[in-house]
Amino acid sequence: MARSLLNICCVVLLSVLHAAAKRDQELYCGACKALVDEIEYAIKQVKPHKMIDVGSFRINPDGTQTQEKVPFAGSEVHMTELVEDICDKMNDYAASTDTVTQKRTYTRFNKREGEENIELHNISIDGETSKKLKYACQNVLEDYEEELLQIFREKKENKSHLLCNVISELCSNEEDHDEL
């Protein structure tokens, strides 16, 4: 009985490892970078003076409350709201293949409010790419949500490189860390 349970566990583990190995690295790297970019953009859109009360709503024995006001942008509440539907933004991305290296990247093709015209070269816009990118984004978020939130909470520099190259290693074989 124990031997067959061990065999089942080995088969499941091998299946999981095989599925992880089959991940399209360019897709997951692009999804990771797009995810970080979308969160950074959303945080920048919040008015700097918008504040939120954090702390305990309980009244202490001396009649005081332990609360303070912190900026809403990037707060835990804000980040929780953002990650709920951030992967829907992947519908605004398309695949772009470098004509020389044949390396595939993902580019935002829908202009954001206040942005200048976007230069698009050699892109392919289709629903299937958006679906795959959204699925990859959801997987990245599921696997690295805590690390992502910590990076933003601690206001780390080079968030995309830190999450996508160092922590998750989804972009580990990439030289250029700034491109989506």
Question: How does pLDDT run across 56-82, given as a tens digit for each residue?
Answer: 667 778 877 777 777 777 777 778 888
Name the β-bridge partners of 54: 68
DSSP letter assigned to residue 46: S
Q: What is the reported pTM? A: 0.74
13-17, 103-107, 112-116, 128-132: lowest mean pLDDT where?
Answer: 13-17
Q: Is 86 helix (H, G, I), strand (E, B) or coil?
A: helix
* Model confidence band, residue 18 (pLDDT cutoffs 50, 70, 90): very low
Q: What pLDDT shows up at residue 17? A: 38
Sheet with 104-108: list strands edge to edge: 104-108, 93-97, 123-124
Read off the pLDDT of residues 113-158 as tens digits, 9 standing for 90 and up: 877 777 777 788 888 999 999 999 999 999 999 999 999 888 889 9
Cα angle, residue 86 at apex, residues 28 and 131 outer, rounded to 5°? 50
